[in-house]
Amino acid sequence: MSRRAIGVFVTLLLSLAAVVPSFAIDFTTLASMGGPLGTALSTLAGMETGVKAIIGFIGFVVALISLAALRNLSPVLFFVGLAIFGGVGLAIAGAIMGVDVGTLASM
């Protein structure tokens, strides 16, 4: 193997080690943390599956519209908004949908 191939392989391994999470987030117990997010997740847990899907869809559409508005302001604001949307919005949507997946899997 050439020196370059070894360097690429080592870089790939180090990148994978940095990206792989060292702990898993349990999205189904976010309601136990309290505060407004915990209250919202507790309220969502008591709703029907169709209502949860509608709420998730509306939230996703609102987030995409706000991203489209940020795109018109400046490229920097667009990427900041995209990072916030990806880091926060999709994690909360995963928490909401995670409750459904667990309920469906136990049936």
CA angle 57, 30, 106 (to 5 degrees): 75
CA angle 8, 14, 16 (to 5 degrees): 100
Confidence check: pLDDT of 91 > 80: no
Could you tell me the residue ranges of all domains in the chain? 26-105
d(CA 39, CA 45): 10
| pLDDT tens string 4-50 | 889 989 998 888 777 766 555 555 665 566 677 677 767 776 777 77
- B/e letters for 10-39, b = 16+ CB within 10 Å, e = fewer, are eeeeeeeeeeeeeeeeebeebbeeeeeeee
Global confidence as pTM:
0.41
